[in-house]
Amino acid sequence: MTIARTPARQRRLPGDVDMWVMVLGDLFFFGCYFVTYMVFRAMSTEEFTASQQHLNVGIGVVNTVILLTSSLFAALAVLAVREEALRDARRLLVTAGACGVLFSLVKVYEWYAKLSQGHTIHDEFFSFYYVLTGVHLVHVAFGLLALGIAVRELRAPHRRRPAIVEQSVLFWHMIDLLWVVIFALLYLMR
């Protein structure tokens, strides 16, 4: 005999279907970039490996830690919203956003350093590097906008829709996931 239990809280995926479709579409879009990069890398392994040596793995690690930390703050913000600790949720979202801004500044510094050293899009590896990290940085900008909208939602007493926070954080987690793959492909894979 089995006893049916009713969960204290009903489990569900965060966000809504539209956001999941967008996230999966973005993952497909980046997946195409990743496959294209791998094909070109396979055709010019030595050139890609030689150019790759000019990337600073330490900067990539710092940016990875920054984004993963931001993801932690964003996840904690969702938990805070669910517990109706809205002030804490706002602070956590702002902190996640600050990490996103810091990531962007480090990336812009890295681009400046690489361009100053003469690593431009005329090098096949660096053309992929600038496109992948550039499109990712555009996503970071949209993610920061989404986090800002979530903070605004939590400030307005008549709004306070937890789903907006969940959707913003879902998008932010996708950005982090994409960076981890980009970091592995561009900085680590030899």
CA distance 96 to 70: 4
Closest CA to 183 of 65, 98, 70: 65
* DSSP assignment letter at 14: S
The domains found in the chain, sorted by start residue, are: 17-188 (1.20.120.80)
The answer to whether the beta carbons of residues 16 and 163 sit under 8 Å apart is yes
Q: Which residues are within 8 A (CB) of 129 and not within 5 positions of it... i.e. 6 or more apart?
A: 55, 114, 186
Output the pLDDT for position 1: 47
Output the pLDDT for position 177: 95
Show the beta-strand stretches assigned E in 57-143. Answer: none
pTM given for the model: 0.88
Output the pLDDT for position 163: 83
Output the pLDDT for position 17: 78
Distance of CA 168 to the CA centre of its chain: 11
Averaged pLDDT, groups of 10, the chain, 190 residues long: 51 72 91 95 94 95 97 96 91 98 98 96 95 97 96 80 88 95 93
Give 56's Cβ-side CA count (13 Å radius). 13
